[in-house]
Chains A and B, each alone.
Chain A
């Protein structure tokens, strides 16, 4: 028998999709949201321009007319970034009023270029539908090298740009770098999308090394929410020092003295 403690379903939900001209503005939105939405802030999700274009091209069709309007913000050399902001609470009037004040202050300070505010459940479903289409859309475009990294929240776009430059230098054509994720939690996903449907081990390793180098240069972690698993094991000695690895080994032996559980899979 299992008892589950369930939180009460919030009765008030507000969602907006915002357009920023730079990552600096995105960081300002993050900061302002904590100040002005505070306890009702429930999600902030980032979607970069490359990702949005893949969603338009390969998505399920949900929110198509909104996506067209969002992509219209890309003018002469500008690279807009899109942010989904959601609030959840128990008082519709109070929450809407907070959301309105928040969006107004962002707009008046030019922190956002534009914002689309959901008016009803249909809009809310559409905006989340766009966010949820990121992963499947990108997967339809080509082979995706996925990276679940932790770096300081201020560094994600910088890392993406660095990766793009390094990939160009390594003469790897046909690769698009996409960034999206849960920036309110300080975490975003970097995805390198190939124009081909398959990859080869050599290319995959070059890309991996490029991304991890950029991450470790900033003392980040090559794993954020998804764990180390087998594929990142070879980097363990680069991200954990000898003492840490030794202790990890000892802990494993403590609970699994006969090495029955997944031998050789995780710890080097």
Chain B
């Protein structure tokens, strides 16, 4: 196995309370001074890539991220987990990755260009969706653009000696097993929660990561290099119309006795 690409996304940390500024319309989600981390599903993808690398000596894991300059930290995390090198496509600081500016189509187009440029890519592992836009589209779009075999929501991945991948995927009614045959194209697999438990970066690996190469290239330069159209990439295909916080929880009702409680429950049709 030669090369595994892992696109990763820097998002608002999953445990943060999201605040919406109602005066900012669709741009209302507050990003300033908010803790950011690697998207949890991307972490799972990185972990899987490293496990596959450990099983297949000589494989190279490349972490790729599109975003502002702080994305290098996200890439360093992937390197500290065990990835070999990184590619940072740097966007201007005001370009938002949470569906407002950059959307899956743009990312998939960029990734397709990188896959072609990198050459000899066996596998692209992505998180099944990002927790800010929740689209779940980048993986499938990339597979479509590459005309490559894909499997989404992977809960288990096994690589065959012939270069095929057998994937157990999550569905609403159970698990489905799909085999992606070796096709000369990279397999595209998106990762779900049960796939693995991402490791902690440990000191020895954090130290090694500082010496691993990270190529930084501006979005504009990358777009030019790949022969894409910058407008095409930066103009979102979908428009966010409105963003609002979920309505606050309604105050509960206090009752004076058990009989009153039962009465209320019956009233609301919760008890026969």
User: Using a CB–CB distance below 8 Å, which chain A residues touch chain B?
Assistant: 11-13, 65-66, 69, 90, 92-93, 96, 100, 103-104, 107-108, 112, 114-123, 125
Q: Enumerate B174-215 residues with CB–CB distance to A below 8 Å.
A: 197, 200-204, 206-207
User: What residues of B have a CB within 8 angstroms of the CB of A117 in the complex?
Assistant: 80, 200-203, 206
27 cross-chain CB contacts under 8 A: A11-B33, A11-B34, A69-B200, A93-B70, A96-B73, A100-B206, A103-B203, A103-B206, A104-B206, A107-B207, A108-B207, A114-B202, A114-B204, A117-B80, A117-B201, A117-B206, A118-B200, A119-B38, A119-B200, A120-B37, A120-B43, A121-B13, A121-B15, A121-B16, A121-B37, A122-B15, A125-B15
Number of interface residues of B (CB under 8 A): 24
Most buried by B among A69, A112, A120, A123: A120
A11 touches B201 (CB 8 A): no
Shortest Cβ gap from B9 to chain A (Å): 13
Write the chain A residue with the least CB distance to B37: A120
B200 touches A116 (CB 8 A): yes
CA–CA, A204 to B48, complex, Å? 52
CA–CA, A118 to B40, complex, Å? 13
User: What residues of A have a CB within 8 angstroms of the CB of B40 in the complex?
Assistant: 120, 122
CA–CA, A123 to B37, complex, Å? 11
Partner of B35, one of A12, A65, A100, A112: A12
Write the chain B residue with the least CB distance to A93: B70
User: What residues of A have a CB within 8 angstroms of the CB of B202 in the complex?
Assistant: 114-117
Q: Enumerate B22-62 residues with CB–CB distance to A below 8 Å.
A: 33-38, 40, 43
User: What residues of A have a CB within 8 angstroms of the CB of B197 in the complex?
Assistant: 65
Q: Does more than half of chain B's interface fall in helix, strand or loop, or is it mixed?
A: mixed
Shortest Cβ gap from A39 to chain B (Å): 18
Shortest Cβ gap from A67 to chain B (Å): 12
User: Using a CB–CB distance below 8 Å, which chain B residues touch chain A?
Assistant: 13-16, 33-38, 40, 43, 70, 73, 77, 80, 197, 200-204, 206-207
CA–CA, A92 to B55, complex, Å? 36
Shortest Cβ gap from B237 to chain A (Å): 30
CA–CA, A216 to B70, complex, Å? 53
Most buried by A among B13, B33, B200, B207: B200
User: What residues of B have a CB within 8 angstroms of the CB of A11 in the complex?
Assistant: 33-35
Shortest Cβ gap from A10 to chain B (Å): 10
If A11-B34, A11-B35 touch, whether A119 touches B201 (CB-CB below 8 Å) is: yes
What 9 A-B pairs are tightest by C-beta distance, nearest first? A121-B15, A120-B37, A116-B200, A115-B203, A107-B203, A11-B33, A121-B13, A117-B201, A114-B203
Write the chain A residue with the least CB distance to B201: A117
CA–CA, A61 to B203, complex, Å? 24
CA–CA, A115 to B80, complex, Å? 12
A120 touches B13 (CB 8 A): yes
CA–CA, A115 to B200, complex, Å? 9
If A13-B35, A103-B206, A107-B207 touch, whether A121 touches B14 (CB-CB below 8 Å) is: yes
Write the chain A residue with the least CB distance to B204: A114
If A114-B204, A115-B203 touch, whether A120 touches B14 (CB-CB below 8 Å) is: yes
B14 touches A122 (CB 8 A): yes
CA–CA, A66 to B200, complex, Å? 8
CA–CA, A103 to B204, complex, Å? 11
Shortest Cβ gap from B163 to chain A (Å): 30
B38 touches A120 (CB 8 A): yes
Most buried by B among A93, A104, A108, A121: A121
Write the chain B residue with the least CB distance to A64: B197
A112 touches B203 (CB 8 A): yes
Shortest Cβ gap from A63 to chain B (Å): 10
User: What residues of A have a CB within 8 angstroms of the CB of B16 in the complex?
Assistant: 121
CA–CA, A116 to B38, complex, Å? 17
CA–CA, A259 to B16, complex, Å? 52
17 extra interchain contacts, Cβ-Cβ under 8 A, other than A112-B203, A114-B204, A117-B201? A11-B35, A13-B35, A66-B200, A90-B33, A96-B73, A103-B206, A104-B207, A108-B207, A114-B203, A116-B201, A117-B200, A118-B200, A119-B200, A120-B15, A121-B16, A121-B35, A123-B200
A119 touches B43 (CB 8 A): yes
CA–CA, A123 to B70, complex, Å? 20
CA–CA, A65 to B197, complex, Å? 9
